[in-house]
Structure 1
Amino acid sequence: MPEENDNRSPVALEQRGMSPDQRMFSPSAARNLAPILAVLKRVLPTHGVVLEIGCGTGEHAVCFAEAMPNLTWQPSDPDADARASTSSWIKFSGLNNVLAPLEIDVCSRLWGVEQTAPFDAIVSINMVHIAPWAASLGLFAGAGRLLRTGGLLVLYGPFMRDGTHNAPSNAAFDASLKERNPSWGVRDIADLERVGEASRLSLREAIEMPANNLSVVFSCDSA
């Protein structure tokens, strides 16, 4: 089981451009928008409210909200610059189904959205491997509290399966993450399944994605 002794916040692992109105541009978001959207359009309900944890630049939020207009998208990020970028993207897009970004620390017992729960889905993209294990624990605990029965927790990023990387490049990436911060690292789906059991979340499917990534979908079971 991974270590859980570091509470440093998630960070970006790439250089990002910025427009004069504070919209940040993520190269990785530009690459993965289309394949992630294809998965979300298949697995998410047609109507409802989706909470995004770790929205980053906000590009995903506005893209997904535009493509799925009957969903209300609630972005969140612990980083003030990310929230500023997301707010600028929302203003630039003119969409009315994306809410103002919230500051959520998944390691906190309360996220500040309890009054608007339950959510139909929670989405977290490229977060759990660049955050301490405590963030994964908090994410699953929060999802178990805040998702409706049948609601989905959707993760995207690199993952191991039963202790094995699915590509040498992911093993090298995992090593580089741990060199940067020993509490980071590519998470094992088996570990996440065990964590999910304590929060009534069961693995529904793991979907192969480009560049050796996976979309991992958990479903919230009845209490």
Structure 2
Amino acid sequence: MQSDHKPFYPASEENKAPILAVLEPLFATVGQVLEVGSGSGQHAVHFAAAMPHLVWQCSDVDDALPGIRLWLQEANLPNLPAPLSLDVDGPWPATTFDAAYSANTAHILSLPQMERLFLGLGRLLPAGAPFALYGPFSDGGVHTSDSNARFDRMLRQQDPASGVRDLDDLRRFADAAGLVLEQDIAMPVNNRTLVWRRR
């Protein structure tokens, strides 16, 4: 934590630039983006400043909202509205968005929660809308690196419901929600950005 009590994640600081390089062309023509699981709010501030043409809507569970508000208040950007309370297990916003984004949430959410995440976005996103999902993923039950395998073991020891998610499961959830995997982009430190598109 910093002295002003804003939450700060070194990983968010390190990965914001490579993620932005993926998002800028993807979100070039969208108006409003929903970020699911905004965490500290660091990504939101960086991306909203770099893409002033869009409105970046933060969301997270209630416990995370005070920290996000501190980042948003300090940034004071016109395209960063107050964060929404959003728990994938609860009610979703009764509105639509032009795009969605989530980072480092898939390995924290349980598999049933990941299914609800896709179903929720399937209802919020219109046809053709993109959803960018960043984090570590396995494919066909195989980890893409030794470090991701170790990370997966650590997560499951802490919480058996968490863990690095496999593309086979995500494709199944996405298909049921009307989303198709369009791009699988390799990122630094064995992460990936998965770009889904609403059918």
TM norm structure 1: 0.86
Equivalent residue number for residue 7 of structure 2: 24
- The answer to whether the 8 Å contact 1:54/1:127 transfers is yes
1:50 aligned to 17, 33, 36, which one? 33
1:123 corresponds to 2:101: yes
Question: CA separation in 1, counterparts of 2:14 and 2:155?
Answer: 21
Superposed displacement of residue 98, structure 1: 0.6
Question: CA separation in 2, counterparts of 1:190 and 1:202?
Answer: 12
Deviations 1:158-185 (A, max 9, x none): 0001111110110111011111111101
Q: Secondary structure at the match of 2:74?
A: helix
Q: Secondary structure at the match of 1:86?
A: helix
Structure 2 gap segments, 5+ residues each: none
Structure 1 gap segments, 5+ residues each: 1-16
Equivalent residue number for residue 184 of structure 2: 206
Q: Which runs of 4+ in 1 moved over 6 A?
A: none
Question: CA separation in 1, counterparts of 2:176 and 2:8?
Answer: 37
Question: CA separation in 1, counterparts of 2:27 and 2:156?
Answer: 33
Q: Secondary structure at the match of 1:202?
A: strand
How many corresponding residue pairs?
199
- The answer to whether the 8 Å contact 2:38/2:60 transfers is yes
The range that moved more, 22-31 or 199-208, is 22-31
2:16 partner amino acid: L
Q: Aligned residues: percent identity?
A: 45
Superposed displacement of residue 130, structure 1: 1.2
1:100 corresponds to 2:82: yes
Superposed displacement of residue 74, structure 1: 0.5
- The answer to whether the 8 Å contact 1:177/1:185 transfers is yes
Question: CA separation in 2, counterparts of 1:133 and 1:62?
Answer: 29
**Within-5 A mapping of 1:190-205:** 190-205=168-183
Question: CA separation in 2, counterparts of 1:194 and 1:121?
Answer: 20
1:157 corresponds to 2:135: yes
Equivalent residue number for residue 174 of structure 1: 152
The range that moved more, 210-219 or 187-196, is 187-196
Superposed displacement of residue 218, structure 1: 0.5
Question: CA separation in 2, counterparts of 1:35 and 1:94?
Answer: 24
Superposed displacement of residue 122, structure 1: 1.0
Deviations 1:9-45 (A, max 9, x none): xxxxxxxx2332x322111111111011111112123
Equivalent residue number for residue 89 of structure 1: 71
Equivalent residue number for residue 14 of structure 1: none
1:189 aligned to 152, 164, 167, which one? 167
- The answer to whether the 8 Å contact 1:144/1:200 transfers is yes
The range that moved more, 39-48 or 94-103, is 39-48
Question: CA separation in 2, counterparts of 1:120 and 1:150?
Answer: 9
Equivalent residue number for residue 19 of structure 2: 36
